[in-house]
Amino acid sequence: MSIVNLAAYRFVSLHDLPMLRERMRERCALLDLKGTILLAPEGINLFLAGSRERVDAFIGWLHEDPRFAAIVPRESLSDTVPFRRLRVRLKQEIITMRQPAIRPEGGRAPALDAATLQRWLAQGHDDAGRELVMLDTRNDYETALGAFAGAVDYRLASFTGFPAAIAADRGRYDGKTVVSYCTGGIRCEKAALHMRDLGMSHVYQLEGGILNYLEQTDGAYWRGDCFVFDERVAVDKRLRARPPLPRGERAGVRGRADDAAEPGRPSIALPASTRPSSHPSPQRGEGAYATRAELDWSGA
């Protein structure tokens, strides 16, 4: 597999957005990179794909700007570029939550590394003995493909619904340690800050999200596949692209692939086996998607 797929973000105050957009466009065009970059006053969020040499050149160029020097991209590989074009867009937020009081560029909530999370999941509690709760902050069509075993899933239609969902269910978390997670870390970072502002104690964000967890561990306690916002649709716990979609379903996913960095409901009808189900399914093969029943199974 010769194509490197990058996912990266950084909450940092940005003021020169129009100029920065042009610089990003020019550099990506020069390197023939495809994907989506979102720029907002609160930071940058990007999904890009290209050859190893050109991707590395872009990250090297990006790190020359002190505002982006700390960006640590997440990588996966594919045989082809899963984007049709390059888009660099200016937004109000790099991930829409509509909670103006939440300002991640001003400071982060505590982050939990992948190895510590895996150890806590094996223990069933944190190092202080508090019960551990995994909280999925992604949308329902994402969680239908895969999730951490036993995670709380509010089946969100969009991330803007998270504040209301957590407010209605706050009592669930009393006396427990909460680890919020998402695909690459951006949503769970805002979610953790919001919960902290609500007065909830012992709240963490999963550093680097699901993709980093799968990269840094053997994927224990993860069930199914991880939805990604490009034409691959999902990757397995080894970060390998899943088998191609049937021809009739490929076009629908492209609209979301081009909007990769701004998650929203895809215009694709996911295969029937990915839809939530309360009934066990037949044994699935290596190339099949997980079902909700399989995701609810707990254990290593």
End-to-end CA distance of the chain: 29
Tokens of 229: 């916002």
Number of helices followed by number of strands (H, E) in the chain: 9, 14
275: exposed, middle or buried (Cβ count in 10 Å: 0-12, 13-18, 19+): middle
Q: Identify the active-site residue in 28, 182, 188, 226.
A: 182
Residues near 260 by Cβ (< 8 Å), separated by ≥ 6?
35, 36, 47, 83, 228, 229, 230
227 bridge partner residues: 234
Quick check: 73 and 7 in contact, CB under 8 A? yes
Dihedral, CA atoms, 81, 237, 95, 193, nearest 10 degrees?
A: -160
Stated as kind and residue range, the H or E segment containing 77 is strand 74-78
Closest CA to 234 of 297, 278, 173, 288: 288
Return d(Cα 49, Cα 15) in angstroms, integer: 26
Return d(Cα 31, Cα 191) in angstroms, integer: 34
Return d(Cα 131, Cα 125) in angstroms, integer: 4
182 is catalytic: yes
Q: Which residues are catalytic?
A: 182
